[in-house]
Amino acid sequence: MGTSGRTCSAGLNHSTLPLGGSQPRLHARDSQQTRDSWLIRSDNLNISGTWVLIRYIERQKRHTKKYSFRQPDLKELRNLTSYVLDPLGFKARYGKLLPLLTTQVDEGLMGTLVQFYDPLYHCFTFPDFQLLPTLEEYAHLVGIPILDQLPFNGLESIPTSQRIADMLHIDESLVKAHMTTKGGIQGLPSEFLIAQATVYGKAMSEDTFEAIFVLLIYGLVLFPNIDKFVDVNAIRIFSTLNPVPTLLGDTYFSLHLRNAKGGGAIVCCLPLLYKSFISHLPQTVAFKENKGCLRWSTRLMSLTNDDISWYDRVYDTVQIIDSCGEFSNVPLLGTCGGISYNPILARRQLWFPLKDNPNNILLEGVFFQEGKDPQGLKGRMVRAWRKVHKKGRKELGPKNCIALEPYTAWVRKRASEYLMPYDYPRPTPLIVAGPSTLPNQGVIDDPDDAWTYLLPQSSKFWKRRYDRLAKEKAGMEAAYEREVKRLRAAYLPASRASRDP
């Protein structure tokens, strides 16, 4: 397990106990302890014959994993936007698909974000808050409502060439001639579809162009399974124009799978996940400008729940899909498998309060890969979507995106148990136990007390705390140097005199 840097005074050399010597009994305990995410160490230092016990805290952290993201080249799709004759009409018919083509995803941010994925609760867990993409957020960001019908489940029949031709308003012979299999799944090469879209775009055949263009966006952007290939799953989802549950399912499924595998390529609609996350980042000029050129790991670890932009008024009238069928949460079926997600943890993002620590029964986690489903979860998930349970103000109370202490304490405890992937930027106090003449700097004997002492607060709080600790540290070091000089003056002359004949 990796550890962050430890805090102790510079310039001190570790020493061993002399043979036959005795160590004074000090009020702090020796050795090393591990409790929750804290590593407590004790070191004995011999300073001119006087033993001093130094204690310090290290925060443990988990190892980061190496992730990548599948990001198709969208240059040709962006070129096709010039043939969209009525952008507002296009948005009304197909949603906010065009902005996804020009979204500049910050890979550094996303590579850092996924390190915070929590496989137990299927969310992103930070030191004192949690974030998770939701069905309601995805529906808003992509501009497509969640229809009152069964979402994609993979059990649908594969559309015939004639059916696909009818959807695209082109000849069946063209579809039949270009339908192929790649990666074990049927579909159409994007090169063929781009060529067809260009032909009909130039001919100003709006219906045909838009149908082909939208299918390309579904296959290459929303569901990017295989490079330069629009597979039959994307075609089936396109035929229903109800992609949101599958989009969120693919996101959680890929995050969870790659986390379990220890890294690898995350395959989902990355621009949508990116838009969801950055919508909650601080909107202050200082955070956006990042004049200190801080890494994303430092910037995210420094955030507290007070810094997060929790709520957008567009969700004022939205009812939350809270659970489905027999499940206490929401089962999501993606193109490669199924996974549950926990809307109860996202209520604050939709302007409802989080009052208590969630019941673990409500956070039951299920997951399966396509073709590896011995428990029959897929069938149960499909049936569950026949009975969707929604909640709004009537069930959840007045709008108020607060988090009360029982919930916040639960999150902090989870963060402590699971460990964070990066160092805490918040200051860790120096713990010194030594001669009584040294100034008392507030020794913390219990790591649980240390945890309470360092609970995340607002950024201004920590700036004040940092300044105060820096001042105290300087004063302590000066006092320490004075004490060393005093001890040397008191013991060294006597030691030399005892050795003189």
pLDDT digits (tens, 9 = 90+) for 414-430: 999 999 999 987 544 44
**Bridge pairing between strands 263-266 and 66-69:** parallel
Are 427 and 479 contained in the same domain?
yes
**Is 205 a member of any domain?**
yes
**Is 210 a member of any domain?**
yes
Are 38 and 94 contained in the same domain?
no
**Is 93 a member of any domain?**
yes
Are 37 and 94 contained in the same domain?
no
Q: Where do the DSSP E strands lie in 73-147?
A: 117-118, 123-125, 130-131
Number of structural domains, the chain?
Answer: 2
How confident is the model over 328-385, as pLDDT tens digits? Answer: 999 999 999 999 999 999 999 998 989 888 877 678 899 999 999 999 999 999 999 9
Residues 14-18 have a mean pLDDT of 34
- Kindly report which listed range (4-18, 97-111, 229-243) carries the lowest average pLDDT score: 4-18
Under DSSP, the state recorded for 15 is -
Are 36 and 96 contained in the same domain?
no
Percent of the chain scoring above 90 in pLDDT: 64
Please state the three-class secondary structure of 359-412 as a single string: CHHHHCCCEEECCECCCCHHHHHHHHCCCEEEECHHHHCCCCCCECHHHHHHHH
- Kindly report which listed range (347-356, 399-408, 444-453, 480-489) carries the lowest average pLDDT score: 444-453
Are 194 and 87 contained in the same domain?
yes
Angle between helices 190-202 and 206-217 (to 10 degrees): 150
Confidence of residue 50 (pLDDT cuts 50, 70, 90): low
Amino acid 280: pLDDT: 96
Are 182 and 229 contained in the same domain?
yes
Amino acid 417: pLDDT: 93
Under DSSP, the state recorded for 60 is B
Are 171 and 198 contained in the same domain?
yes
- pLDDT > 80? residue 237: yes
Mean pLDDT over the full length of the chain = 83
CB atoms within 10 A of CB 115: 19
- pLDDT > 80? residue 231: yes
From 241, 271, 292, the end of a domain falls on 241
Are 181 and 55 contained in the same domain?
no
How confident is the model over 282-306, as pLDDT tens digits? Answer: 989 999 999 999 999 999 999 999 9
Amino acid 397: pLDDT: 85
More confident residue, 387 or 38: 387
More confident residue, 61 or 176: 176
Are 82 and 52 contained in the same domain?
no
Residues 471-478 have a mean pLDDT of 77
- pLDDT > 50? residue 387: yes
- pLDDT > 50? residue 219: yes
Summary count for the chain: helices (H), strands (E): 19, 17
Are 95 and 55 contained in the same domain?
no
Q: What is the CA radius of gyration of the chain?
A: 30
More confident residue, 401 or 221: 221
How confident is the model over 129-162, as pLDDT tens digits? Answer: 999 999 999 999 999 999 999 999 999 999 999 9
Are 86 and 41 contained in the same domain?
no
Amino acid 490: pLDDT: 72
Total-model pTM: 0.76
From 203, 223, 241, the end of a domain falls on 241
**Is 491 a member of any domain?**
yes
**Bridge pairing between strands 32-35 and 38-47:** antiparallel
Are 53 and 162 contained in the same domain?
no
**Bridge pairing between strands 38-47 and 50-59:** antiparallel
**Is 449 a member of any domain?**
yes
Give the best-scoring range by mean pLDDT among 62-66, 247-251, 355-359.
247-251
**Is 483 a member of any domain?**
yes
From 184, 211, 241, the end of a domain falls on 241
Q: Is 110 within 8 Å of 69 (Cβ atoms)?
A: yes
Confidence of residue 470 (pLDDT cuts 50, 70, 90): confident
**Is 80 a member of any domain?**
yes
- pLDDT > 80? residue 242: yes
Domain that holds residue 208: 72-102+157-241
**Is 237 a member of any domain?**
yes
